[in-house]
């Protein structure tokens, strides 16, 4: 079922990445005279297309609707996983999580971090190499990092942490920012206020009471439509309604950020991309490979001077877009090189690739529940392959079981009261499933054993086989063995300390950094100032104090090394 995991297909491309970084750094001064857009990626959590502009009749989202009127709605965008950490790993690298060892949710549950192939870099780091300032807030969660800011790699972001803002960046450079919206996270649907069902529930109650303080409930339980896989009960309706109200609060926050851009005179020089990290934070949506788990809305607002042909305000684009396409597209918008090792392709602008015929997604261990599934989807049909056939789709997960709606589903299942589509998720899964998403958007009618659809089944089965044969899939390796392969002996490797060399003449010295760890990124600072990404040797005045560190993604960063540029005699 495809290539065995390892770095052999990646190693020959390390030189390309180094060359691309050098070219980007060398080209940055030349491009400085050209207008390069700021790029702001607004990333909501745990949310499918529950937006009025995407046809939802219940959602109250006036600011997103306004953004859609000023930009382009992408209606067929799919994440590569139905859960946050693997999805974010693919977003940041432009590479499917199965090929970077980032496919399990989440690595910290087993006490490790994934180690991508040596040339794989997060696209914000590549943007830094091309002269952009980069920032994000408190949420990382890329599998080769921890979940929160400050957990590395330190070279990806110039600034990160609570309250980080483009206003905090230094220098007259274009910026890229990633802003996360916790308001719509699954934990926001947890019962509140209520007697805590776990320590995590207690913490998240406090977080969401703060996030949603003074917020009006604009959607009532009686108003929400329910998919056929939910029983129609007050508790289920209450959870879905709370999700809609959380969406409304997130919409308000998006509006606040857009207002700040306008107040700073940046709205017409900034490409704004709004999307979500995967589908709804509700049962049988989040974590799944159904469209309820991987189909997400996306809006791109273009400054008038940068709007590409065909992207008229208020327009709609129905092409298939995969989450791995965001990294190369953002790099292209910034005028930065797009590495060949990325799985994604540019979907808009002069470098646009032909439309994708298919998108792919994966599901592996989910928290304490082992699993392995792979999926392929074209414009109409979805094919899912289970490597653990006979196991039910629904499993007990301590985090998800806090939801009232999930507890309600379990209670109905145990009493034998689930019928029809509502019972399917609790039944043993077949090895292969096939769905027609046009006639069956909720994917509750499996067509894999219908002879009429045998040609479709064979076509998509072949597409998945061909895709897997072209890449590393760490899912074929037991996770414990994968950890030992990435962290020999199960111990976290430490990046080799960098070497600081002073080159040039005594009057015009230059500083060069290097490390013996393949694929390590280098950072430095001058006279105790902010950390900078190292790309090429740089001038430094005699007597200047230099501090440098190195980090290989998924490894511990090196210790700092210090040196002073010799003073003139």
Within 10 Å of residue 316's Cβ, how many Cβ atoms? 12
Q: What is the CATH number of the domain that holds 544?
A: 2.60.40.10
**More confident: 402 or 23:** 402
Using pLDDT thresholds of 50, 70 and 90, give the confidence band for residue 21: very low
State whether 335 and 229 are in the same domain: yes
Gap between the Cα atoms of 236 and 230, Å rounded: 7
What's the pLDDT score for residue 27? Answer: 43
Kindly tell me the burial class for residue 315, based on how many C-beta atoms sit within 10 Å of its own C-beta (0-12, 13-18, 19 or more).
middle
Would the pLDDT of 497 be above 50?
A: yes
Do 58 and 199 reside in the same domain of the chain? Answer: yes
Q: CA Rg, the chain, in Å?
A: 24
Q: Over the chain, what is the mean pLDDT?
A: 92
| φ/ψ (deg, to 5) at 499 | -110, 130
d(CA 413, CA 406): 10
Confirm if 137 and 124 have CB atoms less than 8 A apart.
Answer: no
Q: Is residue 1 part of a domain?
A: no
Are residues 234 and 329 part of one domain?
Answer: yes
In a domain, 151, yes or no: yes
Assess whether pLDDT exceeds 70 at residue 379: yes
> What 8-state DSSP symbol labels residue 111?
T
Q: Could you list the active site residues?
A: 84
Residue 50 has pLDDT above 60, yes or no: yes
Co-location of 209 and 180 in the same domain = yes
The confidence score (pLDDT) of residue 569 equals: 60
Is 5 a domain residue?
A: no
Distance between CA atoms of residues 488 and 238, nearest Å: 48
Relative to beta strand 270-276, strand 38-44 is: parallel
Same domain membership, residue 463 and residue 405: yes
Please report where in the chains the tokens 């060399």 appear, as a residue: 501
Residue 215 lies in a domain: yes
Contacts of 354 (CB under 8 A, 6+ apart): none
Among the residues of 383-490, which ranges form H helices?
404-414, 421-424, 454-469, 479-486
Least reliable range by pLDDT among 3-12, 64-73, 442-451: 3-12
Is the domain of 330 the same as that of 215? Answer: yes
Query: 407: which 2 tokens?
Result: 């507890």
- What distance in Å separates the CA atoms of residue 472 and residue 7, rounded to the nearest whole number? 9
How confident is the model at residue 345, as a pLDDT? 98
The last residue of one of the domains, among 455, 488, 521, is: 488
DSSP-assigned states of every residue in 468-491: HHTSB-GGGS-HHHHHHHHSGGGP
**For residues 292-316, average pLDDT:** 92
Tokens 């290989």 belong to 552
Decide: residue 312, CB within 10 A, 0-12 exposed, 13-18 middle, 19+ buried: exposed
Does any domain span residue 391? Answer: yes
Q: Is the pLDDT of residue 521 over 80?
A: yes
- Calculate mean pLDDT across residues 55-78: 97
pLDDT score, position 34: 60
- Give the tokens for residue 206: 């406090």
Gap between the terminal Cα atoms of the chain = 66
**18 pLDDT above the threshold of 60:** no
- 488, 517, 552 - which closes a domain: 488
Query: CA 53, 232, 409: angle at the middle one, nearest 5?
Result: 105
Which helix (H) or strand (E) segment holds residue 125: the answer is helix 123-129
In this structure, how many other beta carbons lie within 10 angstroms of the beta carbon of residue 413?
Answer: 17
Over residues 362-368, the mean pLDDT reads 97
Of 285, 378, 274, 361, the residue nearest 326 (C-alpha): 274
In the prediction, which pLDDT does 310 show? Answer: 78
- DSSP of 311-362, one letter per residue? --TTEEE-S-EEGGGHHHHHHHHTT----TT-S----SSTTPPPPPS-EEEE
**432 pLDDT band (50/70/90 cuts)?**
very high
Pairing of strands 175-181, 133-136: parallel
What is the band of 482 on the pLDDT scale with cuts at 50, 70, 90? very high
Tell me which of 14-23, 192-201, 218-227, 300-309 is least confident. Answer: 14-23
When pLDDT is averaged across residues 441-446 and rounded to a whole number, the result is 98
Phi, psi of 73 (to 5 degrees): -90, 125
pTM over 0.85: yes
As for how many domains the chain has, the answer is: 3
Q: What is the pLDDT of residue 311?
A: 83
Half-sphere exposure for 76 (CA within 13 Å, toward CB): 20
> Quick check: 3 pLDDT over 80?
no
Of 435, 462, 488, the residue that ends a domain is 488
Phi/psi class of residue 233: alpha, beta or left (left: φ > 0; alpha: ψ in -120 to 50)? beta
pLDDT value, residue 16 = 35
- Cα gap 369→374, rounded to integer Å: 16
Q: How far apart are CA 53 and CA 122, in angstroms?
A: 31
The reported pLDDT for the residue numbered 568 is: 65
Instruction: Give me 125's structure tokens.
Output: 């780091």
Q: Are residues 507 and 540 in the same domain?
A: yes
Whether 193 is covered by a domain: the verdict is yes
In this predicted structure, what is the pLDDT of residue 10?
A: 34
Cis check for the bond before 193: say yes or no (omega within 30 of 0).
yes
Mean pLDDT for 351-371 is 96
Q: Are 551 and 557 in contact (CB under 8 A)?
A: yes
pLDDT-based confidence at residue 197 (cuts at 50, 70, 90) = confident
Range 525-540 average pLDDT: 96
Range of the domain at 559: 499-564
User: What are the backbone dihedrals phi and psi of residue 425, each rounded to the nearest 5 degrees, phi first?
Assistant: -65, -25
209 and 66 within one domain = yes
User: What's the confidence (pLDDT) of residue 31?
Assistant: 39
Structural domain contains residue 7: no
Residue 493 lies in a domain: no
- Of 17-21, 218-222, 410-414, which gets the smallest average pLDDT? 17-21
* Mean pLDDT calculated for residue range 135-158: 96
Domain at 268, CATH number: 3.40.720.10
pLDDT exceeds cutoff 90 at 305:
no
Residue-wise pLDDT for 541-565, tens only, equals 999 999 999 999 999 999 999 999 9
- Say what the pLDDT of residue 211 is: 85
Q: Which of 308-312, 440-444, 453-457 is least confident?
A: 308-312
User: Which pair of structure tokens corresponds to residue 250?
Assistant: 């997130």
The confidence band for 233, taking pLDDT boundaries of 50, 70 and 90, is: very high
Burial code (b: 16+ CB inside 10 Å, e: under 16) for 436-454 equals bbeeeeebbebbbeeeebe
Q: Tell me: the pLDDT tens digits for 241-291?
A: 999 999 999 999 999 999 999 999 999 999 999 999 999 999 999 999 999
Identify which has the larger pLDDT, 453 or 310: 453
Same domain, 484 and 504: no
Burial of 277: CB neighbours in 10 Å, binned 0-12, 13-18, 19+ = buried
User: Rounded to whole angstroms, how far apart are CA atoms 407 and 189?
Assistant: 13
Whether 531 and 475 map to the same domain: the answer is: no
Same domain, 397 and 344: no
Same domain for 159 and 227, yes or no, is yes
The share of the chain scoring above pLDDT 70, in percent, equals 94
Of 31-40, 131-140, 216-225, 483-492, the poorest mean pLDDT is in 31-40
Q: Residue 502 phi/psi, 5° resolution?
A: -105, 115
Contact 437, 245 (CB under 8 A): no
């Amino acid at each position: 079922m495809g290539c065995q995991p390892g770095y052999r297909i990646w190693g020959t491309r390390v030189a390309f990445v180094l060359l691309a970084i050098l070219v980007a750094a060398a080209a940055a001064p030349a491009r400085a005279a050209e207008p390069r857009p700021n790029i702001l990626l607004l990333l909501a959590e745990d949310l499918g297309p529950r937006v009025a502009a995407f046809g939802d009749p219940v959602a109250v989202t006036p600011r997103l609707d306004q953004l859609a009127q000023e930009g382009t709605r992408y209606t067929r965008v799919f994440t590569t996983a139905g859960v946050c950490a693997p999805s974010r790993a693919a977003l940041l690298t432009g590479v499917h999580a199965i090929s970077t060892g980032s496919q399990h949710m989440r690595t910290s549950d087993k006490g490790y971090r994934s180690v991508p192939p040596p040339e794989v870099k997060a696209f914000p780091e590549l943007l830094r190499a091309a002269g952009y300032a980069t920032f994000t807030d408190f949420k990382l969660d890329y599998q080769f990092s921890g979940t929160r800011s400050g957990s590395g790699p330190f070279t990806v972001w110039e600034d990160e942490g609570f309250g980080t803002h483009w206003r905090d960046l230094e220098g007259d450079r274009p910026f890229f920012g990633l802003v996360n919206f916790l308001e719509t996270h699954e934990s926001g649907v947890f019962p509140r206020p209520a007697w805590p069902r776990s320590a995590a529930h207690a913490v998240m109650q406090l977080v969401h009471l703060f996030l949603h303080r003074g917020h009006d409930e604009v959607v009532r339980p009686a108003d929400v439509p329910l998919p056929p896989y939910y029983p129609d009960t007050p508790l289920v309706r209450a959870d879905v309604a709370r999700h809609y109200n959380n969406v409304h609060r997130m919409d308000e926050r998006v509006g606040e950020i857009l207002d700040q851009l306008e107040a700073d005179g940046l709205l017409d020089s900034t490409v704004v991309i709004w999307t979500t990290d995967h589908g709804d934070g509700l049962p049988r949506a989040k974590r799944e490979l159904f469209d309820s788990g991987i189909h997400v809305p996306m809006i791109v607002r273009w400054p008038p001077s940068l709007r590409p042909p065909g992207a008229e305000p208020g327009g709609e684009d129905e092409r298939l877009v995969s989450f791995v396409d965001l990294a190369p597209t953002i790099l292209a918008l910034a005028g930065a090189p797009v590495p060949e090792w990325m799985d994604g392709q540019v979907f808009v602008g002069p470098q646009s690739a032909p439309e994708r015929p298919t998108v792919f997604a994966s599901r592996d261990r989910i928290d304490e529940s082992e699993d392995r599934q792979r999926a392929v989807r074209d414009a109409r049909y979805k094919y899912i392959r289970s490597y653990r056939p006979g196991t039910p789709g629904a499993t007990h997960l301590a985090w998800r079981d806090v939801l009232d709606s999930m507890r309600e589903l379990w209670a109905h299942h145990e009493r034998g009261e689930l019928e029809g589509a509502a019972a399917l998720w609790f039944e043993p899964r077949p090895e292969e499933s096939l769905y027609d998403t046009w006639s069956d958007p909720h994917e509750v009618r499996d067509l894999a054993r219908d002879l009429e659809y045998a040609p479709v089944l064979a076509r998509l089965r072949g597409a998945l086989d061909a895709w897997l044969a072209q890449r590393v899939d760490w899912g074929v390796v037991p996770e414990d063995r994968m950890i030992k392969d990435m962290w020999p002996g199960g111990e976290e490797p430490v990046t080799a300390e960098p070497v600081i060399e002073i080159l040039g003449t005594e009057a015009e010295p230059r500083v060069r950094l290097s490390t013996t760890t393949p694929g390590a990124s280098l950072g430095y600072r001058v006279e105790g100032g902010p950390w900078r990404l190292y790309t090429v040797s740089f001038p430094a005045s005699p007597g200047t104090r230099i501090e440098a560190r190195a980090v290989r993604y998924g490894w511990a960063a090196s210790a700092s090394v210090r040196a002073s540029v010799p003073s003139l005699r």
